[in-house]
Amino acid sequence: MPDASPIFSKVESILTGMGVPQAKIQMASDLRKDLGLDSFAAVEIIFALEEEFSIKIGDEDIEGAKTVGDLVNAVQGKTEG
């Protein structure tokens, strides 16, 4: 596992639950190109992250998210402070 952070682990768990092979999930993995996710899957991921971390992720927080790392950073920004 490239990153043992708890946030990465939760994102990884959500993605594997959606059928993404664990071996493909890395911080630099592109959500569309590498993992084959579409916009509907992205919405599912956002809902799952909001529920998992008890946060609200707005469109402005996630519209630039292209990689797994972007998702991790968006959640981290909401859970800090």
The reported pLDDT for the residue numbered 4 is 52
Number of folded domains in the chain? 1
42 lies in a domain? yes
Q: What is the pLDDT of residues 16-58, one digit of tens each?
A: 999 999 999 999 999 999 999 998 898 899 999 999 999 998 8
Predicted TM-score of the model (pTM): 0.87
Domain of 12 in residue numbering reads as 6-79
Q: Tell me how far apart the alpha carbons of residues 64 and 66 are, in angstroms, rounded to a whole number.
A: 6
Of 44, 67, 47, 65, nearest to 55 by C-alpha is 47
The pair phi, psi for residue 67, each rounded to 5°, is -125, 170
Q: For 52-65, give one letter per residue: b (16+ CB within 10 A) or e.
A: ebeeebeeebbeeb
1 lies in a domain? no
Domain CATH for 25: 1.10.1200.10
Identify the band that residue 81 occupies on the pLDDT scale cut at 50, 70 and 90: low
